[in-house]
Amino acid sequence: MSNRTLRLCLLILFVVLSLADLLLTGYLLNKSQVIHKSNEVIYEGNPIANAWLLRFGWRGLVIFKALAMWVVGGVALYVSSYRPRLGAFVLVFACLVVSAVLFYSYSLTRSKAAALGLDPHSLFVNEVERKDDIYRAERRRVKNELISGNYTLHEAMRQLLETEQPHSPTWLAKAHERNPGCTDEECVAAEQIELTLNALQNDVPRARRLSIDLGKQFKELYGREAPEKSVHPLFLAQHVAAAPRRPAAANPQPLTPPQLPR
C-alpha cells in the first residue's frame, strides 16, 4: 500500500470515527434525561464543546465537532503535502484519540445501564418509553391547566408540540387511525381535548361547558369542527341520551281563554 493510499484510508477512518463519536455523544446526552432515576447527569466532557452545546444547543455541538473534524483533517492533509510520514502520523494519532473517546462513551453507556439494572442494548427501547412517559406527564399537566382555565387550546398545543412524542411517526400513525382526516397537529389537539373532557366524567355540566369552549377554540385554530368523539366523548353522549324527558300528556286539553265575570 502506497503512502498516499494509507493517508486516504486513515482520513476516511478518522471521518467515520468522528461521525460515530458525534452520534454516540448525542445519544448519551439525550440519555442523560432518561437516567433520571439515578442522580448522575451525563455531560459533554470537552469544555469548549460543552460551551457550544450550552450556548447554541445540539446544532451548535454538531457544528463544533464538524469544524474540529475538518480542521484536523485539513491540517493532516496540509502536512502530508510536505511531510507525508508526519501527516500519516497526525491521522493515526487523531484516530487513536477519537477511538479512545468512543470506547469511553461506550463504557459510560454500559455503566449507566448497569446502575439501573438494565441491559445496555435495551436502552434504545427505554428511550421510546422515556418519550412516552414525558409526553404522558405533559398531557396530564396540560389537562389540568385546561380544566382550570389557565391555558387556552393554543397555549396547550404550544406546550405539547415541544415534546418529542407528537412528532414520532409511530405515534402519529396511531393518532391518525383514531382521528381520520385530521392533520398531525389536529390529531394532537383532538387527543388532548378528549383526555381533558374524560377527566370530568363526575362533573357533567362542567364537562359540557368545557366541551363547547374547546370545540370553538379548535375551530378558530384549524378552521374546522373538532372530531365528534373528542368534544362529545362517550360519557357525555350517554348523559344526553339518559336525560329524563317530560312525558307527553295522553289527551292534551285545548287551552281555553279564562272566563271573565259578567
The pLDDT tens digits of the residues spanning 87-127 come to: 888 888 988 988 888 888 777 666 655 554 445 444 444 55
CA–CA dist 35, 133 (Å, integer): 13
- 8 Å CB contact between 172 and 190: no
* 212 domain residue, yes or no: yes
Do residues 140 and 150 lie in contact, with contact meaning Cβ atoms separated by under 8 Å?
no
Q: Please tell me the distance from the alpha carbon of residue 120 to that of residue 105, in angstroms, as a whole number.
A: 12
Question: Do the Cβ atoms of 231 and 238 come closer than 8 Å?
Answer: no
pTM assigned to the model:
0.48
Q: What is the pLDDT of residue 9?
A: 87
With respect to residue 174, please indicate whether it lies within any of the assigned structural domains. Answer: yes
In a domain, 216, yes or no: yes
- Residue 249 inside a domain? The answer is no
Predicted pLDDT of residue 130: 65
Residue 110's Cβ-count burial label (10 Å; 0-12, 13-18, 19+) is middle
Task: Among 118, 135, 163, give the residue marking a domain's end.
Answer: 118
Same domain, 110 and 58: yes
Interval 235-261: pLDDT, tens: 666 654 444 555 555 555 554 554 545
Structural domain total, the chain: 2
Of 118, 144, 175, which residue is a domain's last?
A: 118
Residue 218 lies in a domain: yes
pLDDT over 50 (residue 60) = yes
- Could you give the 3-state DSSP secondary structure of residue 23? helix
Among 86, 118, 150, residue at a domain's last position: 118
Per-residue pLDDT tens over the stretch 145-174: 999 999 999 999 999 998 888 888 888 888
- What lies within 8 Å, CB to CB, of 166 at 6+ separation is 135, 160, 172, 184, 188
250 within domain boundaries: no
Give yes or no: residues 93 and 153 share one domain: no
- Confirm whether 161 is domain-assigned: yes
From CA 43, how far away is CA 71, in angstroms rounded?
24
Q: Are residues 60 and 157 in the same domain?
A: no
Q: Are residues 73 and 13 in the same domain?
A: yes
Q: Please indicate, yes or no, whether residues 133 and 238 belong to a single structural domain of this protein.
A: yes
**Same domain membership, residue 98 and residue 154:** no
Are residues 102 and 59 located together in one domain of the fold? yes
Residues 63 and 81 in one domain: yes
**Are 28 and 109 part of one and the same domain?**
yes
Q: What is the pLDDT of residues 192-227, one digit of tens each?
A: 999 999 999 888 889 999 999 999 999 999 999 988
**Does residue 83 share a domain with residue 12?**
yes
Q: Running DSSP on this structure, what letter comes out for residue 46?
A: S
Q: What whole-number distance in Å separates Cα of residue 93 and Cα of residue 75?
A: 13
- 8 A C-beta contact, residue 239 and residue 204: yes
Distance, CA of 151 to CA of 109 (rounded, Å)? 39
Domain match, 114 and 131 both: no
Res. 187: pLDDT tops 50:
yes
Instruction: Give 150's contacts (C-beta < 8 A, 6+ positions apart).
Output: none
- Give the residue numbers spanning the domain of 102: 3-118
Question: How far from the centroid of its chain's Cα atoms is residue 170's Cα?
Answer: 12
Q: How confident is the model at residue 49 (pLDDT cuts 50, 70, 90)?
A: confident
On whether both 88 and 170 belong to a single domain, the answer is no
Q: Which residues contact 128 (CB under 8 A, 6 or more apart)?
A: none
